[in-house]
Amino acid sequence: MTFRLEPPPAPKSARIRRGGWSWGQVEGVRHRSLSLGAGIQSSTLVMMMVTGDLPWVDSILFADTGDESIRTLEHLDWLEGQVKLHTNGRVEIHRVGRGGRLSDRIRNRAAGRGVINNDRFVSAPFYTEGRKGKRNGAGGQGKRQCTREFKLEPLDRARRGLLGYRPRQRIPAGSVEVWIGISTDEVVRAGAAFSPWQINRYPLLEMRMSRQDCVAWLESHGFPVPPKSACVFCPYRSNAEWRWLRDNDPQGWADALEIDRLIRNTPGMREREFLHRDRVPLAEVDLSTDEERGQGMLMVCDAGCGL
Ligand code: SF4
């Protein structure tokens, strides 16, 4: 099974749209870096570098919220071994984070502990219950600050450090080409980089690869197909994905149940929050159906929630 980036007819110089993303290689960048979520798509990019189907980037960054499933972390260890083996240590997988676990911030808020170690509460996209007086009494969803604080900012900081720049020091525009593993079925997540010194690139889109193509490619090479990566309590799960967590990661499932219980009556929140989109306690949801509503894990941060 062969998928390749397309020079030719790749453009002579990269087409850079909106100042922040490129279709094709960007000439003159100082650094190429992959945002690794360790799910199917970004793992495919790593393994395509291993097999020589893609050229190696200079760095691979994994943003660790401290709350990934143990199965994802095991897969990450395996990827790390592959990268080390095939580059003789020239390329590394850097695990970057904000310090501390996202779940601990949620625990602190639930306990009404307020700001600890300068870490204020960060909101996650939990489902809120409807209440009287609110439009149609319909429930909503919390803000997704977690992506920015626990993924995007640590990734930016790490790349800045790899380039040798201090915090807030100006970096010339277009210095870093950032590879992101978004496949054709999630094209809506592709977008421009937020900072002018980074240019996003989507190799799977350039190769017209869907998620299913990635699975088929991994299997055809005898490589493991990883689970979707996300915090164990991420609300963007379908029933099938919750069921997978329950059946494959007992500790992760226990953590999700705990967080679900803790967010029910959080001090300062006017509405009760839930992990499941049905707005019922996770422990009580009938997960036997494969019902998929909304976009499921499409919105999840495989290396950066729609970077
Ligand atoms: S996986 Fe979900 S909970 Fe975790 S940082 Fe991303 S959006 Fe937030």
pLDDT digits (tens, 9 = 90+) for 92-104: 999 999 888 999 9
Give pLDDT, residue 120: 62
| pTM for this prediction | 0.87
Q: Is 69 in the pocket of ligand 1 (CB under 6 A)?
A: no
Residue type, 92: E
* Pocket probe mutation, ligand 1, options 96, 231, 255, 260, max atoms within 8 Å of Cβ: 231
pLDDT in tens, 244-289: 999 999 999 999 999 999 999 888 777 889 999 999 999 999 988 7
Q: Is the CB of 230 under 6 A from ligand 1?
A: yes
Q: Is the CB of 110 under 6 A from ligand 1?
A: no
According to DSSP H, which parts of the chain are helical?
40-51, 70-87, 102-110, 145-147, 153-163, 203-206, 211-220, 239-248, 250-262
Q: Is 48's C-beta closer than 6 angstroms to any atom of ligand 1?
A: no
**15-299, which class in CATH?**
alpha beta
Q: What is the mean pLDDT of residues 30-50?
A: 97
Closest CA to 162 of 68, 296, 34: 34
Q: Which residue has the higher pLDDT, 143 or 257?
A: 257
CA of 220 to the centre of ligand 1 (A): 31
Q: Give the number of other CB atoms < 10 A from CB of residue 156.
A: 21
C-alpha 124 – ligand 1 centre gap (Å): 7
Query: Is the minimum distance from the CB of 307 to ligand 1 under 6 angstroms?
Result: no
User: What is the band of 303 on the pLDDT scale with cuts at 50, 70, 90?
Assistant: very low
- Lowest mean per-residue pLDDT among 139-148, 192-201, 236-245: 139-148
Ligand 1: atom nearest CA of 67 is 4
Per-residue model confidence (pLDDT) at position 9: 43
Q: Is the CB of 150 under 6 A from ligand 1?
A: yes
